[in-house]
Amino acid sequence: MNDITNTRKAFEFVAETYSRFPVLITRGQGIYLWDDDGKKYIDFTSGIAVCSLGHCRREIVEAVKAQAEELFHISNLYWTRPQAELAHLLCECSFAERAFFCNSGAESVEAAIKLARKFGHDTRGPDCFDIVCLEGSFHGRTLATITATGQPVYQRGFEPLPDGFTHVPPNDIRALELAAGKRTAAILMEPILGEGGVRPLDKGFVSAARRIASELGALLIFDEVQVGMGRTGTLFCYEQTGVDPDVMCLAKALGNGLPIGAMLARKEVMEHLGPGTHASTFGGNPISCAAAIEVMRILTKTDVLEQVRKKGEYLRERLDGLSARFGVIKDIRGMGLIQAVEFDREFPGLATYLLERGFLTIVAHGRLLRLLPPFVIENEHMDLLVEALEGFLNEQAT
């Protein structure tokens, strides 16, 4: 049988829901990826904040292999050790006391939305179902999560959308006070708006949200799907806001590349999702949990978080240096190893320019360069990226 992926003909059979670069990646190790021509890339995306501890990280590969030899899957009618152990670890290291497992970010937010509605219904009555969300936010691609997402571009053509979602501008305390009321079951936010342009929320706004939610008896939900699991230099981003949420959504880097999501909550909140109210066939799968346990071990038992803070500062310094020299750079934003460069105009060729020079990056609308390198990146690799960016900006100027 001839290998049709060699002729690239098989690609036609994949639905065209993504605009992909014409690159076929075949292998990864640490911060590096290789394509089928053997060309090597430095990955500044981590598979969009997923492979944060590096591609094919040895300890995680071993944990996954060992689990695959033991048990792939049972149903959630029975117990497995990896699932219980992971729940314990996540709760031990956070405000949370209970974990519900699913398979993706959207599923974890969907679970949080269901929990909020059930909680509102049970504690304050059937009219208490509204979720207040932020404009510019991103929460996933299911019907409920595109509705929570405060960007109409993700919603157009998919109407009718579910009821019960309200949006306010980020960092506008007055707007939040006005929008939240007796129908509000929860306030949902990303501590840093990720897809929406790497915009950290003001501490004052986050603590106002905490106060407003508590006064109403509503839940405060943090979507840490992108910024959780060490990305900002602490295990969870909320630790740097001075505020504990009632519910937190995780996915992306939780399994370092194996699909897993988690929705965490305090016990008396999670209790409202009783037996039969929510489920996922694959949720808490032993192999994904084995990977996530190893991720938790590395994040909590090594100096990796300190590394993220140091390397994040270094990247920030280098980007600030560029910004001082190139007027087209409007803003540099981020925390730890989620950093973004915003330009005052569109550079449609930027992503391809960097790709050709061996850097995988995320560029939104040609205006925003988003950098999410694996935590095992070294300063010299960040120097190389900054030099390439400098080369690009110099070319634009001439």
Residue 265 corresponds to which tokens in the numbers above? Answer: 């909550």
Q: Can you tell me the distance from the alpha carbon of 241 to that of 364, in angstroms, rounded to the nearest whole number?
A: 26
Among 223, 246, 294, 342, binds ligand PLP (CB under 6 A): 223
Q: What is the DSSP letter of 298?
A: H
Q: Which of 51, 30, 27, 54 is nearest to 38 (CA)?
A: 27
Among 139, 272, 318, 333, binds ligand PLP (CB under 6 A): 139
- The residues near 40 (Cβ < 8 Å, ≥ 6 apart) are 32, 33, 34, 358
Output 139 or 381, the one with its CB closest to ligand PLP.
139
Does 104 bind ligand PLP (CB under 6 A)? Our answer is yes
Binding mask 163-202 for ligand PLP (x = CB under 6 A): ---------------------------x---xx-------
Q: Can you tell me the distance from the alpha carbon of 151 to that of 167, in angstroms, rounded to the nearest whole number?
A: 10
By CB under 6 A, which span of 28-36, 79-87, 154-162, 223-231 interacts with ligand PLP? 223-231
3-state secondary structure of 375: coil
Among 187, 208, 225, 263, binds ligand PLP (CB under 6 A): 225
Size of the site for ligand PLP (CB under 6 A): 15
Minimum distance, C-beta of residue 304 to ligand PLP, in the bound complex (Å): 21
Beta carbons of 25 and 375 less than 8 angstroms apart: no
Count the Cβ atoms, other than its own, within 10 Å of residue 154.
17
Binding mask 247-266 for ligand PLP (x = CB under 6 A): ----xx--------------
Length of the chain: 398
Among 100, 101, 129, 138, binds ligand PLP (CB under 6 A): 138
Q: Can you tell me the distance from the alpha carbon of 337 to that of 347, in angstroms, rounded to the nearest whole number?
A: 23
Output 130 or 190, the one with its CB closest to ligand PLP.
190
Residues that bind ligand PLP (CB under 6 A): 104-106, 109, 138-140, 190, 194-195, 223, 225-226, 251-252
